[in-house]
Structure 1
Amino acid sequence: MTISRRTLLGTGAALGLLTACGSNSGRDKGGSADGKVALDHWYHQYGEAGTEAAVRRYAAAYGRAKVAVQWRPGAYDQQTAAALLTSSGPDVFEVNGPTLDQIQGGQVADLTALLDGVKDDFNPAVLAPKTYDGRIWGIPQVVDTQFLFYRKSLLAQAGVQPPTTLDQLLDAARALTRNTVKGLFLGNDGGAGVLGGTPLYAAGLSLVGADGRAGFDDPAAARTLGKLHRLYADKSLLLGAPSDWSDPSAFIQGLTAMQWSGLWALPAVHKALGDDFGVLPFPKDGPAGKPSVPVGAYAAAVSTRSKHQAEAKEYVKWLWVEQADFQTDFALSYGFHIPARLSLAKKAAKLREGAAADAVAYATDHGYAQPLLWTPVLQTAYQDALNRIIKDGANPDGELKAVVRKTNEELQRVKRR
């Protein structure tokens, strides 16, 4: 979510939210009875059993301050955005960012020094969108990634090899579509929602270029995205599945031979299918193409309104930089994620064999994260165009020209702020 102070203070409802968040922090802004500084650490509500107990255990183990964990159900991003404008918000908070608004608005502290000597051990793809003006504003906690699951036995029966190019993927999806089985599942919308910029990166392009302008102002973008319509036109895509792409049920139940999903689904797939599956990055397209793997990470950030910024930074460094056991536990004991530190990902026993090891290698070698400058406005414009290209067969060149213009205008706007 992107929310500015002007937008937030412009409605009575937002003011009510701000007041509620500011008056219900549940912590002493000074210190604890034993003289230790009191810190408040906010997390969004995870669906994975055991996660809340784990983060409370980590906080209790910290000896230099009294850390109170707040587990925040509901609209977490909105709650946090409002609370950061008050003096009674969190000292440390989990964030799917920080956002450009939060950084440019001076709401989050510079955490660059926390990674002195270890910066190169953090996955560079997920660290990039936490970095602005050469400074680091959030410490990645765990890495989530998406890739292509494929059913080995179904590919073998059809005489199909695991696809390594986009053209091979299109051909494989058609060949694997038989009777009640579809070749590929990219989500019930046909893929526009989940794929995002992944096909552009597979073509050797990007959402935002190094020059700060649209990174897909190139004929290769239209060529690649135009190919995705063939999947829809060929009726190779599974549509209307009982659950969407993030759930592996369609793949496990044999409704599709290939499915785009996330690393979190791997344990369920392995439990159901044993070794009868593999994983692949999104395949490359064109002479400049390369395999593409989207990655993302929640981060720990420190509020500049905290009265104990120095102590909050020390705590974040202890938890997400120094405590290797906690970081591995958080990534793999309650769900299935990759530790943000490369050295920990290599050591983790659960990630050293089979499809899990392949997924770690793909995320490390081919991972990309959505750029910090890619705003919700641009996300909507691009996704709408991609949806028209995939489903309606809209002209990809015309659609992308409009998105390129919008992108360059929006990027100029955010850089002027």
Structure 2
Amino acid sequence: MSALSSNWDRRSIFRAAAGLGAAGTLAACGGNNGRGGGSGSGKQLTQYFHAYGEAGVEQAVKRYAKAYTKADVSTQWITSNDYESKLFTALLTKQAPDVFEFHPQIQLVKSGQVADLTDIIAPVKDDFNAADIKSHTFDGKTYGIRMIDDPQFFFYRKSMLEKANVSVPTTLDELIEAADKLTTSKVKGLFLGNDLHAIELPLIWSAGAEPLTEKNEIGYHTDAVVGGLRRLRKLFTSGNLLLDAPTDFWDPSAISQGLCAIQFCGMWAMPAMQQALGDDLGVFAFPKVGSSGRPSVYNGGWSMFVNAKGSNVDAAKEYVKWLWLDQKKYQEDFGTSYGFHIPPRTSIASQAEKLKSGLPAEGVKLFNTYGHFDNISWTQAMFSAWDGVISDSVRKGGDPEAALDACDKKINRELKKLFG
């Protein structure tokens, strides 16, 4: 997940996918259309992007489009706080984009909304991170092309940990203890995001569980996950957690402005943090939860999809192939020039000089060692159900077992709809 504009929450995209089931009209989008450079072909394509927070991304995206000669490509750069609702509303209208960025979601496949891209990716498939291919594949067909991988982990102020005599946490209990020791009258020990939803999947993985099993059955309801939820409740009520930051977890300002000593965030924010804090930064994975746990890193990111219900499917596929498969220079530029992201193609990632040393290299190592990727079968309804678990058991102090039981019912209904 790239750094986002200050009024945008990645979690809402999954809830918004339900908008495919309801009619609507497209609301106005911000930014000029960034139309391409007049190919003379007569072909017109429109692509949707959410407003990345890093300076220069919009200009780069429009520069790439302008360089394409086989169609005029216009860019809708959606700066408002509801990219996802505008996207899914637009997909129901004649103004639907031909190409759009999003995340792998099984409903998009089952509804016939996204085109099969297996044929264009096949020649370079082996150059992609295998996990990125898997997360975009259903029934042997690949439906999206990953543009960037965005690992998420903890950033910490080295000087603050040293002053408080705190070691880098390796367990959730140690993280909670560190938050206590690091909290002062002016600084909170830890920031997990304003609603804690960003750490849902890392909590499951670090407890040694999976959201869903390989057979698409519930995998998260374990004693270790229950224990983790109880520990998070203790943390939530401790007074050591930053809960009212001006912006959410994806923005580096909480740690950069000295509001906390440790912040959960993404690698995209690393350059901005380094600019503010210099070398006073370290990173570590979400620590193990329970005796059978393991560290984990959630690899978010963005992918490019072709609207299978559009009128220019073949032309759109050709453009996507040109930009996100053929133009390695643009792919590396997109990944490393505007915040730090890991290119999903091995050949590009291996030559990205900005990621080879220092803190970026540490982030890449965490990505390669502890990384977990999106599961195409984990839907927006499942995310919403798990939002409820966090709300009920951590924020409100309810029984985690009861919260998970209620979640199980919702997710089993969803699984039955999807898989019978």
- For the aligned pair, the TM-score class normalised by the smaller chain equals 0.7 to 0.9
SS in structure 1 at match of 2:74: strand
One-letter identity of the residue aligned with 2:144: G
Between the two proteins, what is the percent identity of the paired residues? 42
Instruction: Note closer, same or farther for the CA distance 1:153–1:47 as it changes in structure 2 (3 Å cut).
Output: closer
- For residue 200 of structure 1, report the CA deviation from its aligned partner: 0.7
Q: Match of 1:61, as an amino acid?
A: A
Q: Is this contact kept in 1: 2:272–2:339, CA < 8 A?
A: no
1:210 aligns with 2:191: no
Q: Which amino acid aligns with 2:99?
A: V
Tell me, in whole angstroms, the C-alpha distance in 2 between the residues paired with 1:226 and 1:316. 46
TM-score (structure 1 length as normaliser): 0.86
**Counterpart of 2:67?**
61
Q: Is 1:112 aligned to 2:127, yes or no? A: no
Q: 1:107 to 1:252 in 2, by over 3 A?
A: closer
> Which residue is 2:193 aligned to?
187
Amino acid at match of 2:77: W
Tell me which of 300, 309, 319 is aligned to 2:323.
319
Q: Which residue of 1 aligns with 2:3?
A: none
Deviation at residue 330 of structure 1 after TM alignment? 1.2
Could you tell which deviates more after superposition, 58-67 or 402-411?
A: 58-67
Residue in 2 that maps onto 1:49: 55
Q: How big is the shift at 1:140?
A: 0.9
Q: Which residue is 1:2 aligned to? A: 17
Cα distance in 1, alignment partners of residues 160 and 288 from structure 2: 22
- From 145, 150, 162, the counterpart of 1:144: 150
Is the contact between residue 125 and residue 295 of structure 1 (CA under 8 Å) also seen in structure 2? Answer: no
My pick for the range that moved more, 248-257 or 259-268, is 248-257
What SS does the aligned partner of 1:101 have? helix
Residue 98 of structure 1 deviates from its aligned partner by 4.6
Output the CA distance in 1 between the equivalents of 2:79 and 2:338: 18
1:292 aligns with 2:292: no
164-173 or 75-84, larger mean C-alpha shift: 75-84
Structure 2 CA distance for aligned equivalents of residues 181 and 49 of structure 1: 28
1:297 Cα offset (Å): 2.1
Note the aligned Cα RMSD (angstroms).
Answer: 2.7
Q: Summarize deviations over 1:60-109 as a string: whole Å, max 9, x none.
A: 22234443334344443333334434555333222x22533321111211
Q: Which runs of 5 or more residues in structure 1 are unaligned?
A: none
Q: Secondary structure at the match of 2:114?
A: coil
CA distance in 2, matches of 1:124, 1:349: 22
- Post-superposition offset of 1:35: 4.1
Query: Which residue number in structure 2 is paired with residue 362 of structure 1?
Result: 366
Deviation larger for 111-120 or 202-211 = 111-120
Residue-pair matches, total: 400
1:256 offset after TM fit, Å? 1.9
Structure 2 CA distance for aligned equivalents of residues 40 and 389 of structure 1: 43
The partner residue of 2:235 within 231, 244, 248 is 231
Which is higher, the Rg of structure 1 or of structure 2? Answer: 1
Question: Following superposition of structure 1 onto structure 2, how do residues 147-186 of structure 1 map, counting pairs within 5 Å?
Answer: 147-186=153-192
Q: 1:233 to 1:35 in 2, by over 3 A?
A: closer
Q: Secondary structure at the match of 1:39?
A: strand
Name the CA distance, whole Å, in 2 between partners of 1:77 and 1:34: 32
- Choose from 400, 405, 410 the match for 1:406: 410
CA contact (8 A) 2:39 2:69 kept: no
Secondary structure of 1:257's aligned partner: strand
Three-state SS of the structure 2 residue aligned to 1:114 is helix
**1:245 Cα deviation from its structure 2 partner:** 2.4
CA contact (8 A) 1:202 1:290 kept: yes
Q: Give the aligned residue type for 1:8.
A: A
Match of 2:393 among 386, 389, 401: 389
Q: State TM-score, norm by structure 2.
A: 0.86
SS at match of 2:18: coil
Contact 1:126 1:296 in 2 (8 A): no
Contact 2:98 2:312 in 1 (8 A): yes
